């Protein structure tokens, strides 16, 4: 691990030497959302031995979605969709010829505080887990959201975070599985049995595949296998859908939440737990979960091949996504002055000159 004896600047991290080398070889960028710090963080490698980080303010950032040139970020009271315009990256006035991607805000939906968690595009339309209303929703210009699905044990659409619906797994372009922290239908009722009340639900049939899970998050289908993070026990599990059972693939020994795959590698985020809240302080994993960071695991062998640990600023990571074929991206939030200067047409793009 790298060490630094001088006072640490914000968002300081230490990492194993394999991390920049791997990101450089894979030609990809890690995107993190840290809602406690209100940031989206990009981690990439400009060289095989140099890890580069930028952080941008997105208040209460939680769910992130990446598809082709688009990136969506769910924030405390809104959701912003950004688009990558590489030509704007190279000509960015403050730092020309530095970046190879430039994510600029295109649309912001003013949703209110819905606690939007996992998100994905389905048939060209962004879908999100609306945790406050225990449902899967889409967004448009007419309302804060439009419900498209909810668990059959949720009797009505209500702003009560009844089951803490959170995770979304895609398969063949559709939403196949979701996770919730309880099979319950009352205000915040998931808190009553949060250690073992979690469920995995098959969305097309609205049937529960697994029960008694330890705070499940981030279900993902990789190589036709369904994985889920058991946050309260710090485990990565593989689910056998046919038998309704699971096996522990790896005990990661942290409060894990947020997972993405690129090539043969899993990128799994972990968080420092809040000891001043009843939702986390009594978890068995709490004593070990003292730092936030990212674990990189080689999936074919289940070996840990790299770690990133934050020394300050970042306590809770919600989501992790991989941006492929990008080694030095930049991202501009909707309130940044540069947003006013960025003009993109169907055929061209340029930075306007201030009057």
In this structure, what DSSP letter does residue 189 have?
G
Where the chain has pLDDT below 50, the residues are 1
Element (H, E) at 88: helix 86-90
The alpha carbons of the chain give a radius of gyration, in whole angstroms, of 20
**Closest to 54 in 3D by CA, of 327, 349, 257, 343:** 327
Residues listed for the chain = 355
Q: Give the three-class secondary structure for 199.
A: strand
Specify the pairing of strand 329-331 against strand 101-110. Answer: parallel
**Tokens at residue 10, please?**
């914000």
pTM score of the predicted model: 0.94
Q: What is d(CA 220, CA 210) in angstroms, rounded to the nearest whole number?
A: 15
pLDDT tens column, 276-335 = 566 666 677 766 778 899 999 999 999 999 999 998 889 999 999 999 999 999 999 999
pLDDT for 7 equals 75
Q: List residues bridging with 54 in a β-sheet.
A: 42
pLDDT for 22 equals 97
Q: List residues bridging with 290 in a β-sheet.
A: none
Q: DSSP string spanning 319-338? A: EEEEEET-SSEEE--TTSHH
pLDDT for 302 equals 97
Specify the pairing of strand 225-230 against strand 216-222. Answer: antiparallel
The CATH code of the domain at 13-342 is 2.120.10.80
**Tokens at residue 25, please?**
């070889």
Q: Which residue's structure tokens are 């055929």?
A: 347
C-alpha distances in angstroms, 201 versus 84, 90, 142, 239?
A: 34, 45, 29, 12
**Tokens at residue 29, please?**
């960028």
Q: What is d(CA 189, CA 154) in angstroms, rounded to the nearest whole number?
A: 12
**Tokens at residue 133, please?**
């209303």
Q: Report the 10 Å Cβ neighbour count for 48.
A: 12
Contacts of 92 (CB under 8 A, 6+ apart): 98, 99, 102, 330, 338, 351
């Amino acid at each position: 691990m790298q060490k630094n004896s001088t006072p640490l600047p914000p968002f300081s991290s230490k990492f194993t030497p394999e991390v920049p080398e791997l990101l450089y070889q894979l030609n990809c960028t890690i995107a993190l959302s840290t809602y406690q710090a209100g940031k989206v963080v990009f981690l990439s490698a400009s060289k095989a031995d140099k890890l580069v980080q930028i952080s941008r303010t997105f208040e209460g950032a939680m769910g992130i979605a990446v598809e082709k040139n688009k990136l969506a970020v769910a924030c405390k009271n809104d959701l912003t969709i950004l688009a990558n315009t590489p030509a704007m990256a190279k000509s960015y006035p403050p730092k020309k010829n530095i970046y190879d991607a430039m994510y600029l805000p295109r649309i912001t939906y003013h949703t209110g505080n819905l606690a939007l968690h996992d998100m994905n595009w389905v048939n060209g339309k962004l879908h999100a887990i609306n945790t406050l209303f225990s449902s899967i929703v889409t967004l448009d210009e007419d309302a804060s959201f439009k419900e498209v699905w909810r668990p059959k044990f949720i009797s009505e659409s209500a702003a009560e975070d009844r089951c803490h619906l959170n995770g979304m797994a895609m398969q063949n372009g559709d939403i196949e599985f979701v996770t919730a922290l309880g099979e319950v239908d009352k205000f915040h009722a998931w808190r009553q049995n949060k250690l073992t009340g979690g469920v995995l639900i098959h969305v097309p049939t609205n049937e529960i595949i697994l029960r008694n899970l330890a705070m499940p998050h981030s279900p993902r289908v990789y190589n036709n296998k369904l994985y889920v993070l058991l946050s309260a026990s710090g485990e990565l599990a593989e689910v056998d859908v046919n038998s309704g059972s699971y096996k522990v693939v790896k005990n990661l020994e942290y409060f894990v939440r947020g997972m993405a795959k690129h090539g043969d590698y899993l990128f799994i985020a972990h968080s420092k737990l809040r000891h001043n809240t009843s939702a986390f302080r009594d978890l068995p994993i709490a004593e070990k979960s003292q730092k936030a960071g990212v674990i990189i695991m080689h999936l074919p062998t289940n070996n840990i091949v790299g770690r990133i640990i934050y020394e300050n600023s970042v306590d809770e990571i919600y989501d992790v996504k991989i941006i492929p074929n990008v080694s030095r991206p930049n991202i501009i939030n909707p309130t940044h002055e540069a947003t006013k200067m960025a003009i993109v047409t169907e055929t061209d793009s340029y930075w306007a000159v201030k009057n």
